[in-house]
Amino acid sequence: MLSFLIRRILQTIPTVLAVVLLVFVLFSVVPGSIVSTMSDDSDPQVELRMKKQLGLDQPVYMRFGVYVARLATGDLGASFRTREPVTTMIAKRAWPTLQLIFASMAFAVLLGVPLGFIAALRPGSLVDTVSMVLAVSGLSLAKFWLGLLLMYLFALRLGWLPSFGYGDGSLKYLILPAVTLGVSPMALLARTTRAAVLEIMTADFVRTARSKGMSETRVVKWHVMRNALVLILTTMGLQFGALMGQAVVVEKLFSWPGIGSLLVDSVLQRGIPAVQGSILVVVLFFLAINLLIDVLYGVIDPRIRYA
């Protein structure tokens, strides 16, 4: 198990390096002078001084070397404007984002998976049709539109929940953003679960289970669920990526102080180090989640173990 884990971690290193390179190239080479987009003051003297100060007068490969060397020590650079270290900026915002992501995934799993099961066990029934129509609708919604509507209804009209912000970090602030963010993974999980269960129900071992005299409920509980879990986990893993992306929009909409809104604000203010740092952290998190899911595969499906 440990060697499997170490091997998997080693396998992600090239990807991480490639992302580092990509992020660096994207922002350090393409847009030309960062300093000129940073200040409206286009005095060449000032610009040169600032470049020197920021080490931007060095050739690109030197800058990349310095960047990677600093990364290795956990230094993501500092804001050009406020000189605040990016690592600190991200650290402050990591917890709200984690809260949001995991709360939405929990919402998605707790609703989507049972919905998919119920639909699959009665294919063609009213429950099936209604839940699949709901699922395809959930996938077609713009997250921020749904968020706006929920905000209007539950915060402004009914006054049950706060409309935006992190507040004191209590649960009531989390509900609307998490539900908004969770709807499309929920819809997708419902669809995947349904398809997975339908497929598994035709498997030979399900027929064996029935031949043992099991009720359909037991067939599902004892034999279908664990097999469906593998497919559900795959979808979950992919959905974490989509969730990280959508979190940017939802955090912005609800003024949620997470990494997503840091990313958008930094992009709008051309705060390049913070943009690079946020993207790197998001990718690292996503890779870590996928690693975790690979480990879970092994736990659920013995055929994959230590492979």
Partner 1 sequence: MKLRANLVIGGSLFALAIIVGLLAPWLAHTDPVMDANLMNAEEPPSWTWWFGTDGQGRDIYSRVVYGARISLTVGIVSQLINSIIGVGLGLSAGYFGGWWDDVVNALTNLMLAIPSLIFALAIMAVLGPGLTSLLIALGLTNWSFTCRLARASALSLRNQGYVQAATVLGYGDLRIMITQLLPNMLGPIVVIGTLGMGSAVLSEAALSFLGLGVRPPFPSWGSMLSEARDQITTAPWLSVFPGLAIFLTVLGLNLLGDGLRDILDPQSRSRRT
Partner 2 sequence: MTGSPLIEVEDLSIDLDDGSRRVPAAEGISFRIDRGETFGLVGESGCGKSITALALIGLLRPPLSVSGGVIRFEGREIQRLSAAAQRSLRGNRIAMIFQEPMTALNPVSPVGRQIAEMFVLHKGKSWREANQLAVESLASVRVPAPERRVKDYPHQLSGGMRQRVMIAIALACGPDLLIADEPTTALDVTVQAEIIELMRNLCAERGTAILMISHDLGLVANVCRRVAVMYAGRIVEERSSADIFRAPSHPYTQGLVDSLPRLGSRAALGRSRLKEIAGVVPAITNFPDGCRFNPRCAQATDICRTAAPKTDLLDAGGLVRCHHHA
Contacting residues toward partner 2, per CB under 8 A = 203-205, 207-215, 218, 222-223, 226-227, 230, 300-303
Does 139 help bind partner 1 (rule: CB under 8 A)? yes
Residue 287: partners with Cβ closer than 8 Å, 6 or more residues away? 12, 15, 16
CA–CA distance, 299 with 243 (Å, rounded to integer)? 25
Put residue 74 in one of left, alpha, beta given phi > 0 → left and psi -120 to 50 → alpha. Answer: left
Under 8 Å between Cβ of 144 and 278: no
- Decide which of partner 1, partner 2, none touches 38; Cβ closer than 5 to 8 Å per partner kind: none
- Decide which of partner 2, partner 1, none touches 286; Cβ closer than 5 to 8 Å per partner kind: partner 1
CA–CA distance, 224 with 87 (Å, rounded to integer)? 45
Among 66, 106, 242, 288, binds partner 1 (CB under 8 A): 242
3-class secondary structure, 304: coil
Does 307 help bind partner 1 (rule: CB under 8 A)? no
- Decide which of partner 1, partner 2, none touches 129; Cβ closer than 5 to 8 Å per partner kind: partner 1
Under 8 Å between Cβ of 274 and 280: no
- Decide which of partner 2, partner 1, none touches 156; Cβ closer than 5 to 8 Å per partner kind: partner 1
Site string for partner 1, 261-280 (x = CB under 8 A): --xx--xx-x----x---x-
Task: Show the CA angle centred on residue 277, arms to residues 276 and 278, nearest 5°.
Answer: 95
Residues lying near partner 1 in the complex (CB under 8 A) are found at: 14-15, 18-19, 22-23, 26-27, 30-31, 123-124, 129, 136-137, 139-146, 148-149, 151-152, 156, 195, 198-199, 241-246, 248-249, 252-253, 263-264, 267-268, 270, 275, 279, 282-283, 286-287
